[in-house]
Structure 1
Amino acid sequence: MAHQTAEVDFRTRLQNWIPKLVLSPSLAAVLVFVYGFILFTLYLSFTDSKMLPSYDWVGFENYRKLWGLSHWWTAITNLAIFATLYIVICTAIGLTLAILLDQKIRGEGMLRPIYLYPMALSFIVTGTAWKWFLDPGIGLENTMHLWGWESFEFGWIKDRNMAIYTIVIAAVWQTSGFVMAMFLAGLRGIDNEILKAAQIDGASNWNLYRRIVIPLLRPAFLSAFVILSHLAIKSYDLVIALTGGGPGRATELPATFMYSYTFSRNLMGVGASSAVIMLMTIAAIMTPYLYAELREKP
């Protein structure tokens, strides 16, 4: 009897340890290659690193240099323009599409994949496609000229003052369908009894959405804001594929700045400091969201 009890106890312990043993290599890789490199980047930002890592401590000198660079301020300004328009337009389009699809329209099963398809593409593919489409020599402008509209002009991608908005257009095209799916899931999760009760009380469709539906979608709005902010801050491949950061530095963003100063200008310390600031910005957005999601409900 004691032997059987010991055998059962051994099997129970083995079953408890197997998942931990299976996950331990992945966990170790994450600790080393994600959090370990984050700490290493943080350390480099306080050193006099150039082409190769250096261990000469310089304190906050790299951060002082960073905020004194006009290129960094250009990147910050572009990020403010891009992130604001990207988040607002994506949210508006996603919510509108979700409300339309929630009306049980015919062909919903076909429209949903069409709206979601751009998100299946990589940002490199999206940037390349929109680069061809917006190029005045081979894209939309050239096509309109071939069709007879000789006065049509759309050269934003070549215009220093308008090029940043082409990044917004491409990013919104790719992501708005994903935001739509988030809002649609939120709409489908609303209790129909609440909506029926409001309709019985005489609420119009406008008041129904303004006073009941939109407030109940607050978690979806918050999730969309966090995801879109994260994508905006770390945007790199879309910019490189679409404009290459140009013309000049008209579409420079913090991510492209970090890469150029680390690998092209061989100022690894300054590039690391810009990466740390990007990380702190994302953390400032993510931490309150995670706290609100993980805290125990009273």
Structure 2
Amino acid sequence: MSLTIMTAVAVIAAHDRSGLLDDLNSGLYDRCSPDPLYCTLSGTGVRLLLDSEALKYLGMLNIGLPAIVGMLWGAPLLGRDLEQGTHRTVLTQGVSRGQWLASRLGLAAGTTLVLSGFLAGVFAWWWQPAANQSYGVFWYETAALNGSGPRVVAAALFGLAVGTLLGLLVRRVLPAMTLALLVNGAVILALEAAHRVRFLVPPHTYTSAGSSPKPAMGDKWSAGHYGLITASGRREDVANCPYPSSTQLGECMDSHGYVARFYEANPAGDYWTFQWTDTLVLGVLTIILTTATTLLLRRRV
């Protein structure tokens, strides 16, 4: 199954990336840049966008990979033998519980590592020509932030660890598969929510005077927080001076005692901060779950 998935993804990626490069080389997108956010066709107002739907589908596949691995590989890893009782035969033939777990989990982990690393690598290769461009896919879009980089590998190994532990605890494959789907789904959604509220990676603050244009958003990911700053550093609602960059805005700020305006956002460089933070969290959880599986195996089997 892994080889089939990898082959299909490689063929689709090679075909679509070739078409993407042909579009970029046509010169139609030469005038586009990350700022303004949307690049339009001259004289028509029509947005210029590359066809990146298949790339986003790959990102969503990568996001769902932990649930797939947990269901199809993790849950049956020990659960099938425990459900059918065949583990007794294995353990009476001179194989210790640790060796049984290591042989099963080692092969599954190796396969998971290869598959997830391949899918993450293909996404990066496919994404690179149009990364963080107004006509492509920005780093903070869900498909890119959660479906690429080392976190894909860490998440897949976490999914395997979840499924393996649940298979041991439940001792029935189908219920363990269902629980693995639910647990992995909950963790995926929790990490996505943490990204949205910047729980683990706080945004940067950008300031400017009211009389001059504020720093361009460009490829930054806005946190949705913006307003005005007093001399004491207190932040207040921008509605107190609802004017664009102008003399009028400057006069309003002076009359209210504001010294600057601000907005909060994460720059493109924070992509790697999000990546390694998620990888660390998922890696620690994987170690904890694997350790728990090892300890419980000695008591429950």
Give the TM-score taking structure 2 as reference length: 0.29
More helix, by proportion? 1
Higher relative CO (Cα under 8 Å, sequence separation at least 6) belongs to 1
